[in-house]
């Protein structure tokens, strides 16, 4: 009668694969938990960042209203600057950042807090804002330029709901000499 006992090789391969899978899961947990805590703390220190687009703002539950900027396209020092979207959203605070796969699959849990962000998304002319001597936008009466996310999103934080219209100055100096006035208001109906 032939011997039908299974060879030990497939069983060893299965055990090796199971050990390797267990190692990967343990390594992910050991890396992900501290990384989630670290990323949450770093993001909280950086302040709440607004959405990149109106669609993103709506998905986050922070969107208040779409606004219009006048003029929507300007010529500034030989460069064309075009504004794609302007919106107002609620200030949000990161509660916890969950990291599933570092830098690839992460999920942030946020809550709405007091404060507002006026956000401007550029469609053209972002290179005008680059460099030390670059152009910047200033909210009249605030004494600070709009902050940036990446190269196309500019935003300003307000403690209370801003009164519309909001006057922005497009400038390259703090004396606002030669600046260009832009107005943010409700879109025409």
Domain membership flag for residue 150: yes
C-alpha span between 72 and 182 (Å, rounded): 9
Please state the pTM of the whole predicted model: 0.73
Give CA–CA dist 53/74, Å, rounded.
21
In a domain, 180, yes or no: yes
Please indicate, yes or no, if residue 18 is contained in any of the structural domains. Answer: no
Query: What does the block give as tokens for 110?
Result: 């946020």
pLDDT digits (tens, 9 = 90+) for 8-23: 566 778 888 888 988 8
Closest CA to 157 of 46, 48, 82, 16: 48
Provide the domain limits for residue 76.
54-185
Longest dimension (CA), the chain: 101
Tell me the mean pLDDT in the region 176-184: 94
Total domains present in the chain: 1
Determine, yes or no, domain membership for 90.
yes
Residue 113, both tokens = 């807090």
The string of pLDDT tens digits covering residues 38-96 is 666 665 554 578 989 999 999 888 999 999 999 999 999 899 999 999 999 999 887 87
Q: Residues 118, 51, 33, CA angle at the centre, nearest 5°?
A: 135
User: Does some domain include residue 4?
Assistant: no
| Residue 11 lies inside a defined structural domain of this protein | no
Residue 150 pLDDT more than 60? Answer: yes
Q: Judge whether 152 lies within some domain.
A: yes
Q: Which of 26-35, 118-127, 129-138, 158-167 is the least confident region?
A: 26-35
Angle (nearest 5°) at CA 134 between 133 and 137:
125
Residue 39 placed within a domain: no
């Amino acid at each position: 009668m032939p011997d039908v006992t299974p060879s030990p090789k497939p069983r060893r391969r299965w055990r090796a694969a199971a050990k390797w899978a267990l190692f990967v899961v343990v390594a992910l947990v050991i890396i992900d938990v501290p990384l989630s805590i670290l990323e949450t703390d770093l993001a909280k220190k950086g302040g709440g960042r607004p959405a990149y687009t109106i669609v993103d703002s709506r998905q986050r539950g922070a969107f208040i209203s779409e606004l219009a900027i006048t003029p929507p396209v300007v010529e500034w020092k030989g460069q064309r600057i075009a504004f794609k979207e302007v919106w107002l959203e609620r200030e949000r605070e990161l509660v916890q950042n969950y990291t599933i796969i570092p830098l690839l699959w992460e999920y942030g849990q946020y809550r709405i807090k007091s404060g507002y962000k006026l956000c401007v998304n550029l469609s053209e002319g972002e290179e005008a804002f680059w460099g030390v001597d670059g152009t910047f936008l200033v909210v009249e009466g605030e004494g600070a330029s709009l902050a940036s996310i990446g190269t196309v999103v500019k935003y300003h934080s307000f403690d209370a709901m801003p009164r519309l219209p909001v006057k922005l100055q497009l400038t390259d100096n703090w004396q606002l000499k030669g600046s260009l006035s832009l107005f943010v208001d409700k879109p025409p109906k």
